[in-house]
Amino acid sequence: MSSNRIVHLRRAGVSVLIDATGEGQPALAHWGADLGDLSPAELGDLLADSVPAVPNAVLDQPLRRGLLPERALGYRGRPGLSGHRSGADFAPRLGLTSCEVSGDVVVLTSTDDSAGLSVRSELELTGSGVLRINHEVRNTGETPYQLAELAAILPIPDVATEVLDFTGRWSAERVPQRQRLGMGAWTRENRRGRTASDASFVTTVGTDGFGNRTGTLWSVHLAWSGDQATWSEAIPDGTRVIGAAELLAPGEVELLGGESYRTPDVYGAWSDRGLDGISERFHHLVRSHRNDGPRPVVLNTWEAVYFDHDLTRLRDLADIAARVGVERFVLDDGWFGGRRDDHSSLGDWTVSSDVWPDGLGPLVDHVRGLGMQFGLWFEPEMINVDSDLYRAHPDWLLGPHDRLPPEARYQQVLDVARPEAAEYLFDRIDSLVKEYGIDFIKWDHNRDLVHAMHEGRAGVHAQTLAAYRLFERLKEANPGLEIESCSSGGARVDLGILQHTDRFWTSDCNDALERQHIQRWTQFLIPPELLGTHVGPPEAHTTGRRHNLTFRAATAFFGHFGIEWDIASASEQDQAALVEIIAAYKRLRGVLHTGSTVNIDHPDPSATFSGVVAADRSSAVFCYAQLATTLAEKPSAARFAGLDPDRRYRVTPLTPAGEPAAGHRVPPPWLAAGSATMSGRTLQTVGLPLPVLHPEEALLLELVAV
């Protein structure tokens, strides 16, 4: 509802209150718990009664912190709009000129005629209760305006005292880190040209000691795949905010008269049910814009054959893949140009006549004859100096014209924002997709952008938008084509690129122990069905650690299941187990890919207990994983959350890959009997005793309402 330019949005247990009264900028007066159905008079009273005191030794009037907090009004933190016009107009003072409300979308326009700037702000409270916000600044003056930053800055209350965000590296993505929010700013800036493995991912501020299922939280995610900044900030005047913005290089965005710049969307989620409450909102948001259906079982050939492409060997691999139940066969790197290793040929997107004298047709036909889809690996945004493309077009490289940027993995970056380069990529990829009827592209991006220059200025912004356009164009030209975002494994995971892709490769690390952590925290934002979770070989090539198939399969179960393993060399016993594992996955993927993720605050730090509960709460799948040695002789009980308290559930062990290795003489009686039946309330409050498992073992449990 709105009255006298006070706008109150309410959805999914969340209220957003926008104060668009007065002459200055509109302000976000409240974002969080539902305030109820307030009358116009009550809304006015709430705003009037919320004006703080004016302490000594400060400005004479309380600061009105608008949507874009302004240094011209005395805001002491990171301002919402930064830039200048040859040194002038560095501190604009915006005034509201229009407020339009259409359903749950509010569009606000504010201007500063003296500075020659106009800002259009769009806020939407989505059906998931997630707040979407973006700003667009327009240069209404006659001289160029150098934009430094345009940010979404959201208020949080003083009870929000603890910060969670993420860091990481290749094969160890999305490692959580927590700290107190003291006075000042905790700022994370990503200058790697892509959403990197150490990106902040989601910035969350919450009440002390918040957990998986407890605490009140405010979270922000920037839907952008280039350079970015996120921060949380506390100021002695009582201001507490979290913010996010594209991180622009000096001179990267210059607005001529009449030109504009629009921010990426920023998504804010509030929860009073801990981290899982945030995840539930983000997952609902993502799923509301997609219709993915059951995710097919994938076999990717990289860890099976690497660069050793041989038709006979790959046909044999496809035969076994089909036999165990694989539905999509993906040929990885090594099929094009002179690509026998990672030193050359990126950019030469022509099937290698040496390795594939008859083209890919014989393999594609064989795969399709077995009833599987066919996928192919590309890395379109990269180029090797040792390639025909670079020799023909050295000026297509993204970088300065007089010297090469440092190499990474023997690669440079192709300037996709250059129209000729983009057209070349589209033509080559589109022709291959059409020639072979390719169903799926694994789209890799294996290096950072360093000294990225496009048309004489910083080029990350232009490169990111150009990549989005290329994705969009290919999908429009090939309806039904799916694209996976892979970037040195699990980099470039964000909601910006997800608007153009269909799946993320979660990490190059298929070590099941490492994957337990990586997948859990990637699922904080991304629904599990959009995350590639593959069973790797017995010995992980990234860590050298060995795990049995039971643990590897249980870990891969919770996502878009696949195989990254030379299963032709697997034992008959393991191949037979894969048949059972894949059959179980197919039977349960309807729940796994539509239900609510549940992460229990398990008291033993050496173990985790998590799962997925069906949307109608009629069934669930949980996983108890013993990740390290515990001091407890007996494990803590399994206390299930998310169930219907008034329904009774039968709990049975799910062991398609065999029983996990146990360290007890006598198992719990219910487990020895094969099942237990209890109410959802009892399962949550009392729980079930768990078996003693060896470290790096896992037990799957299936629940069905009876």
Alpha carbon dihedral 150, 155, 160, 162, in 10-degree steps, equals 0
Given 253, 288, 323, which residue is the final one in a domain?
288
Q: Can you say whether the dihedral through the CA atoms of 237, 243, 247, 252 is positive or negative? A: negative
Identify the CATH number of the domain in which residue 78 sits: 2.70.98.60
Structure tokens at 320: 């076994």
Range of the domain at 120: 2-288
Residue 4 has pLDDT above 70, yes or no: no
Q: Report the distance separating Cα 277 and Cα 269, nearest Å.
A: 9
On whether residue 513 sits in a domain, the answer given is no
Q: What is the pLDDT of residues 262-305, one digit of tens each?
A: 999 999 999 999 999 999 999 999 999 998 888 999 999 999 99
On whether residue 640 sits in a domain, the answer given is yes
Residue 258 has pLDDT above 70, yes or no: yes
In the annotation, is 448 catalytic? Answer: no
Range 216-227 average pLDDT: 98
On whether residue 494 sits in a domain, the answer given is no
Tell me how far CA of residue 55 lies from CA of 73, 84, 237, 254, 452, in angstroms.
16, 32, 9, 40, 48
Identify the CATH number of the domain in which residue 695 sits: 2.60.40.1180
Q: Report the distance separating Cα 212 and Cα 520, nearest Å.
A: 11
Given 260, 288, 316, which residue is the final one in a domain?
288
Q: Which of 444, 448, 494, 511 is catalytic?
A: 444
Strands (E), 558-614: 560-563, 596-599, 607-613
| 319 confidence band (pLDDT: 50, 70, 90) | very high
- Within 10 angstroms of residue 629's Cβ, the number of other Cβ atoms is 10
Residue 1 has pLDDT above 80, yes or no: no
On whether residue 572 sits in a domain, the answer given is no
Residue 2 has pLDDT above 70, yes or no: no
Residue 213 has pLDDT above 60, yes or no: yes
Specify whether the CB–CB gap between 305 and 566 falls below 8 A: yes
Q: What's the angle, vertex CA 32, arms to CA 27 and CA 33, rounded to 5?
A: 130
Range 140-148 average pLDDT: 97
255, exposed or middle or buried, with CB in 10 Å at 0-12, 13-18, 19+?
buried
Which residues 6+ apart lie within 8 Å of 701 measured at CB? 611, 621, 622, 623, 624, 638, 651, 652, 653, 654
The total of structural domains in the chain comes to: 2
Q: What is the pLDDT of residues 342-361, one digit of tens each?
A: 999 999 999 999 999 999 99
Provide the pLDDT for residue 9: 97
For 336-365, what is the HEC assignment? Answer: ECCCCCCCCCCCCCCECCCCCCCCCHHHHH
Residue 247: closest CA among 235, 268, 231: 231
- Sheet of 253-255, strand order: 81-84, 145-150, 253-255
What value does the mean pLDDT of the chain take?
96
β-pair type (503-505, 328-331) = unpaired
Structure tokens at 30: 């409240």
Range 604-626 average pLDDT: 97
- Within 10 angstroms of residue 39's Cβ, the number of other Cβ atoms is 10
Residue 67: closest CA among 200, 241, 231, 236: 241
Q: Which of 198, 276, 508, 574 is catalytic?
A: 508
On whether residue 25 sits in a domain, the answer given is yes
Q: Report the distance separating Cα 357 and Cα 478, nearest Å.
A: 26
On whether residue 118 sits in a domain, the answer given is yes
Residue 576: closest CA among 551, 557, 549, 552: 549
- Enumerate the H helices of 383-437 as residue ranges: 388-392, 419-436
Q: Can you say whether the dihedral through the CA atoms of 428, 433, 436, 439 is positive or negative? A: positive
Q: How many CA atoms lie within 13 A of 454 on its CB side?
A: 22
Given 264, 288, 312, which residue is the final one in a domain?
288
- DSSP state letter for 664: -
* Predicted TM-score of the model (pTM): 0.97
In the annotation, is 37 catalytic? Answer: no
For 48-104, what is the HEC assignment? Answer: HHCCCCCCCCCCCCCCCCCCCCCHHHCCCCCCCEEEEECCECCCCCCEEEEEEEECC
| 146 sits in which H/E element | strand 145-150
On whether residue 158 sits in a domain, the answer given is yes
Residue 154: closest CA among 223, 208, 218, 103: 218
Q: What is the pLDDT of residues 532-561, one digit of tens each?
A: 999 999 999 999 999 999 999 999 999 999
Specify whether the CB–CB gap between 407 and 383 falls below 8 A: no
On whether residue 244 sits in a domain, the answer given is yes
Phi, psi of 303 (to 5 degrees): -80, 0
